[in-house]
Amino acid sequence: AQTVTQSQPEMSVQEAETVTLSCTYDTSESNYYLFWYKQPPSRQMILVIRQEAYKQQNATENRFSVNFQKAAKSFSLKISDSQLGDTAMYFCAFMKSGSARQLTFGSGTQLTVLP
Amino acid sequence: SAVISQKPSRDICQRGTSLTIQCQVDSQVTMMFWYRQQPGQSLTLIATANQGSEATYESGFVIDKFPISRPNLTFSTLTVSNLSPEDSSIYLCSVVALLLNTEAFFGQGTRLTVV
C-alpha cells in the first residue's frame, strides 16, 4: 500500500513571494504518477501539476514547479509569485500505473496568501 | 478534459434516511471512483465503480452502507444508506480517462449534512 505524507498542515506567504509545500511518499512501485491538487473553498479539486516517475526532469506549469527526488521519495511544490487566488488547500497525491488508477492523498496543506 | 456533473451539490438529511448522489460525465471514461472527505480532512477512496458489475470497495466501506451503480461508461450513483451524523461529509466523484494523460477529474462534490 502507498502512503503520502504532508507535514505542513498550514502555511502562509506574502503576495508575490515564493513558497514551497512538502510531500513525501512511500511505495514499492517503480512506475507511478504524482500530483498536486488544489481545493479552494468552492470544493472543486483542480489539478495543479503532474509528474511521471520515469521522467527525471521536474515538471513545470507556469508559476508552479516541483522538486521530484525519486530516491528520497520526495515531491515538493514550489509556487512562485504567489497570488491571492492561490489561497486553497493543497493535496499531494499518488497514483499507480497499470490498471488501478485510484489516488492516494496526503492530509493536505492549507496555504494562505497574504496581501 | 472530462466535465463532470455531480448532483446534488448539497443536502440536509434526517438520520435513518438515504441519499443518492449522481455523477454524469460528458465523455466515456475508463474508471470512476467515489471519495469521501470528512470535515477538515483529506480524501479517502470509498470504492471503484465498475461498469455492469459490483463496485470494488476499500477497507472500511461496505456495499450495504454505500451501494454503487454504474450502468454505463458515463454515469454512476452512490447511495449513502441509513444515515447517521457521522456520515456528514463531502462526497466526490472522480474519473480517469486513460487517453487523457492519466489525469483524474473531479465533480464539484456533494456536501451532506445529517441531522
Residue-range domain boundaries for chain B: 20-105
For residues A50 and A77, give the distance between their C-alpha atoms in angstroms, rounded to a whole number: 10
**Strand, coil or helix: A86:** helix
Shortest Cα distance from B10 to chain A (angstroms)? Answer: 11
Question: Averaged over B82-107, what is the pLDDT?
Answer: 88
Place of cell 441519499: B19
- Lookup: cell for A69: 527526488
Closest approach of chain B CAs to the CA of A113, in angstroms? 19
Is A115 within a domain? no
| Number of independent structural domains in chain A | 1
Mutate to test the interface with B, among A105, A107, A110 (most CBs of B within 10 A): A105
The Cα–Cα gap between B19 and B8 comes to 9
Q: Which of A35, A43, A107 sits opposite B109 (nearest CB)?
A: A43
What CATH number corresponds to the domain at position A40? Answer: 2.60.40.10
- Whether the CB-CB separation of A77 and A9 falls below 8 Å is answered with no
Indicate which of B57, B106, B112, B113 best probes the interface with A, i.e. most A CBs within 10 Å of its own CB: B106
Give domain status of residue A114, yes or no. Answer: no
Q: Across the 115 residues of chain A, what is the mean pLDDT of every consecutive 10-residue run?
A: 94 98 95 95 92 93 96 97 97 87 94 97
> Three-state DSSP class for B34?
strand
Per the structure, the complete domain to which residue A94 belongs is given by 3-109
Question: What is the CATH code for B20-105?
Answer: 2.60.40.10
- pLDDT band at B28; cut points 50, 70, 90: confident
C-alpha cell at B14: 434526517
**Digit-coded pLDDT (tens) for B56-89:** 999 999 999 999 999 998 999 999 999 999 999 9
* Chain B interface includes A98 (CB < 8 A): no
Report the Cα B79 to chain-centroid distance in Å.
Answer: 8
